[in-house]
Amino acid sequence: MSDRRLLVVEDESNIAEALSYVLRRAGFVVETVSDGDLALQRLQREHFAAVVLDIMIPGTNGFEILRAVRADPALADLPVLVLTARGQAKDRQLAEELGASAFVTKPFSNAEVVERLCAFTGCSQQES
């Protein structure tokens, strides 16, 4: 049985709530955090199957977290879905360079986020 624990790093409480709801319904175990520093600590301490990462967050921003994750050998393979309102090409490019597994811009389709995370974690997709 695959690991279904996800970390959602998102400072907008409404978006965090929506994501939690959707992902839980899809069978994931969802933890949310709204601060960059806190998110990095938890990633280093705990085990997650994948991360949903916002870029513009208080504390260490999303790109820095991604860089730190990829720099950590233990986390190098962690699937990271960057979910951001910064939709410009250069942001996407930077995210990919830093090793993001997927790049989704806000507003997002719930189904797409679930689909991507399922693909990363190897779950069979349920009705969303």
Partner 1 sequence: MLHADFVIIICLIYVAILFSVAFAGDRKARRNPGGWLSSPLVYTLSISIYCTSWTFFGAVGTAARDGFDFAPIYLGPVIVFIGWWVFLRKLVTVGRVHQTTSIADFISARFGKHPGLGALITIVALVATAPYIALQLKALTDSYQVLTHPAGAIVASSTILKPDYSVAFWLAAGLCSFAIIFGVRNLNVNEHHHGVIAAIAVEAVVKLAALLIVGLWVVLSIRGVPAEMFANAPVSLMQPADTFNVRWITLIFLSGIAVVCLPRQFQVMVVENSSERQIRTASWLFPLYLFLLCLFVFPIAIAGLNRLPAGANPDLYVLTLPLQEGRPHLALLAFIGGFSSATSMVIISSIALSTMISNHLIVPLALRFSVIPSASTQSVRRFILNTRRASVIFIVFLGFLYYWLSGTSSALASIGLISFCGVAQFMPGIISGLFWRRASASGVIVGMIAGFILWAYTLFLPSFGGMFFMPLSVIEGGLLGITWLKPYALFGLSGLDPLVHAVFWSLFVNATLLIGISLITEPTPLARLQSALFVDVFRRQTESEQRIMRRTARVADLRQVAERILGPREAVQLFASGQGAKRTVIASDDLLSQVEQRLASHIGAASARSMVSRVVTNETISVQELKRLAGEAEQIRAYSEELERKSRQVEEAAAELASANRRLREIDKQKDEFLSQVSHEVRTPMASIRSFSDILLHDRDMEEARRERFLAIIQNESIRLTRLLDSILHMNQMERGETAWPLELLDPEEALDQALESCEALAHSAGVRLERGQRAGPVQVLGDSDKLAQVFINLISNAIKHNADTAPLVRVTSAVRDGVYEVRIADNGPGIPPQERELIFIKFERGRYAGRSGAGLGLPISRQIVERFGGSLELAEDCKVGAEFVVRLRPVEASRARDVGEDAPPAAAK
Interface residue list for partner 1 (CB under 8 A): 11-12, 14-15, 17-19, 21-22, 25, 56-58, 85-88, 105-111, 128
Tell the smallest beta-carbon distance from residue 63 to partner 1 (Å). 14
Which CB atom, from 56 or from 76, has the smaller least distance to partner 1? Answer: 56
Tell the smallest beta-carbon distance from residue 85 to partner 1 (Å). 4
Distance CA 69, CA 22 (A): 25
Minimal CA–CA distance to 65: which of 88, 32, 47, 42? Answer: 42
The distance in angstroms from the start CA to the end CA of the chain is 20
Tell the smallest beta-carbon distance from residue 91 to partner 1 (Å). 9
